[in-house]
């Protein structure tokens, strides 16, 4: 049996592949025509009797191949691979994604289906770094159907698969898993928000009625668990409730509530959250005031952030509530905020580096404006009630309801005259 041919073996070579670049690089590679003709259509054509001209170099047939300097090594590796038995038994032939991609380009250019298939199989299976993925996206789409399998992981997913993973992720993101899974839960929440956000690309999923219904169900289950926690806290003796565990649970719930508010605002279904929050407000305040610990002060900050979201949706008409519920929200949360802000300010004054108690100043301003807006939308008698309590409170500095007070004074003074002009002179306040 004849020994297998070896690339570069001058003693048995009958053809020279002359690799040349525009920069003047010129390398002779001693090869064997039987190998080249069997595995490469390009070389088979060039070495056939039908080719019009035949170059001779070093007493051998010569085939010139021109390439870019950056692709020179890929051409050399390609020629070496022509001498390798590529049967799937050896995977470590490519020396990485970048090299395999370069060899693939040469394989397509020189018509070698065996090497093309092997490169495609390799690139389709191995992980890519971000830079490699960008390079693949730049090169592979222009290679034709042979290279299409490489792009399988980058193809758009059908809508039913997107809905399936979205709903599964949503249910997990709004569950209460063990604390060891908090990082995974946070990641799920981030990805859900990313999927429905329009940025440089369209949202991955447009929330239809079914998706919104799933959100509402998840919010309902979230508040059900939260209300059970509140009841447990209120019913059990203080010493029987695990301090660290209960505080951790509260922090987790309020962090979830903030995320839920962001998502529901995007989907324009904030009502479901607001109604549940209104129903739970009295219990929340009772629980928080019952435990004046440092941990509970941290929780108060989160509560203020959630309250700001809820009241904003009420104050600016995103969620329409009857007068009684709007008044109730003011009576619950206005005193809470009046007490909480000075407490936070005092902590920040004593410990300016305490990141746990830092809150955006714009949030306080926005909350103040929201209070004014809600008050001014109440019947005038209810406005008077709220403003009287504010003026008699020791915490009149925040929120500053001066604007609401001035508008109430003006409206009250001119009310009879204004209504008389409208034919309502019989009305009195």
How buried is 23 (Cβ within 10 angstroms: 0-12 exposed, 13-18 middle, 19+ buried)? exposed
Section 286-296 average pLDDT? 78
Q: How confident is the model at residue 394 (pLDDT cuts 50, 70, 90)?
A: confident
Q: Can you tell me the mean pLDDT for 340-347? A: 85
Give dist(CA 324, CA 83) in Å, integer. 86
How high is the pLDDT of residue 358? 62
Is pLDDT at 296 greater than 60 in this prediction? yes
This prediction's pTM: 0.78
Residue 223: phi and psi, rounded to 5, are -70, -30
Higher pLDDT, 237 or 142: 142
pLDDT at 90 over 50: yes
In the predicted structure, residue 86 carries a pLDDT above the cut 90: no
H or E stretch at 55: strand 55-57
The pLDDT mean for the chain works out to 89
- Token readout for 158 is 């059908």
Arithmetic mean of pLDDT, 108-125: 94
pLDDT for residue 7 is more than 50: yes
Q: Reply yes or no on whether the pLDDT at 114 is more than 80.
A: yes
Burial 92-103 (b: 16+ CB within 10 A, else e): ebbeebbebbbb
**H helix runs in 268-401, sequence order:** 271-289, 294-315, 323-350, 361-376, 380-392
* Percent of the chain residues topping a pLDDT of 70: 90
pLDDT(131) > 80? yes
Q: What band does 187 get if pLDDT is binned at 50, 70 and 90?
A: very high
Per-residue model confidence (pLDDT) at position 32: 94
| pLDDT at site 428 | 47
Question: Stretch 201-219: mean pLDDT, rounded?
Answer: 94
User: What radius of gyration do the chain's Cα atoms show?
Assistant: 37
Residue 425 reports pLDDT greater than 60: no
Q: What pLDDT score was predicted for residue 429? A: 43
**pLDDT of 356 strictly over 80:** no
What is the reported pLDDT for 3? 67
User: Which regions of 124-282 does DSSP assign to beta strands (E)?
Assistant: none
65: DSSP letter? E
Q: What's the CA gap between 82 and 75, in Å, rounded?
A: 11
Task: Decide if pLDDT at 75 tops 70.
Answer: yes
Model confidence at 354, pLDDT cuts 50, 70, 90, reads: low
Number of H helices, E strands in the chain: 16, 4
Q: How confident is the model at residue 423 (pLDDT cuts 50, 70, 90)?
A: low
Q: Residue range 293-322: average pLDDT?
A: 91
The lowest-confidence range among 48-62, 134-148, 158-172, 202-216 is 48-62
């Amino acid at each position: 049996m004849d020994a297998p041919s070896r690339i570069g073996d001058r003693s048995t070579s009958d053809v020279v592949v002359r690799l040349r670049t525009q920069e003047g690089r010129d390398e002779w590679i001693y090869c064997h025509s039987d190998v080249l003709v069997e595995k490469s259509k390009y070389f088979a054509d060039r070495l056939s009797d039908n080719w019009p001209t035949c170059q001779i170099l070093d007493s051998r047939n010569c085939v010139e191949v021109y390439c870019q300097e950056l692709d020179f090594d890929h051409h050399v590796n390609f020629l070496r691979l022509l001498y390798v038995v590529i049967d799937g038994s050896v995977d470590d032939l490519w020396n990485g994604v970048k090299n395999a991609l370069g060899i693939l380009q040469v394989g397509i250019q020189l018509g070698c289906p065996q090497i093309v298939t092997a490169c495609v199989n390799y690139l389709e299976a191995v992980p890519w770094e971000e830079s490699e993925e960008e390079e693949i996206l730049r090169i592979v789409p222009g290679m034709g159907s042979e290279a299409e399998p490489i792009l399988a992981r980058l193809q758009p997913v059908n809508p039913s698969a997107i809905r399936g993973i979205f709903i599964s992720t949503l249910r997990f993101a709004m569950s209460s898993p063990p604390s060891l899974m908090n990082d995974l839960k946070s990641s799920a929440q981030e990805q859900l928000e990313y999927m429905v956000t329009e940025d440089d690309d369209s949202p991955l999923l447009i929330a239809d009625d079914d998706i919104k219904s799933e959100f509402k169900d998840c919010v309902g289950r979230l508040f059900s668990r939260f209300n059970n926690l509140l009841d447990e806290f209120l019913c059990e003796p203080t010493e029987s409730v695990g301090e660290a565990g209960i505080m951790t649970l509260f922090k987790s719930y309020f962090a979830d509530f903030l995320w839920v508010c962001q998502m529901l605002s995007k989907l324009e279904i904030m009502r479901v959250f607001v109604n549940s929050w209104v129903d739970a407000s009295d219990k929340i305040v009772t629980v928080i005031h019952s435990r004046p610990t440092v941990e509970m002060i941290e929780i108060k900050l989160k509560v203020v952030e959630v309250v700001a979201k809820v009241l904003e949706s009420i104050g600016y008409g995103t969620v329409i509530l009857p007068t009684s519920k709007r008044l109730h929200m003011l009576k619950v949360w206005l005193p809470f905020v009046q007490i909480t802000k000075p407490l936070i300010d005092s902590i920040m004054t004593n410990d300016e580096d305490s990141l746990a108690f830092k809150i955006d100043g714009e949030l306080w301003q926005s909350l103040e404006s929201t209070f004014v807006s809600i008050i001014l939308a109440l019947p005038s008698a209810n406005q008077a009630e709220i403003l009287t309590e504010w003026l008699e409170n020791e915490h009149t500095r925040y929120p500053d309801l001066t604007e609401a007070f001035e508008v109430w004074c003006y409206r009250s003074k001119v009310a009879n005259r204004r209504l008389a002009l409208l034919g309502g002179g019989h009305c009195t306040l």
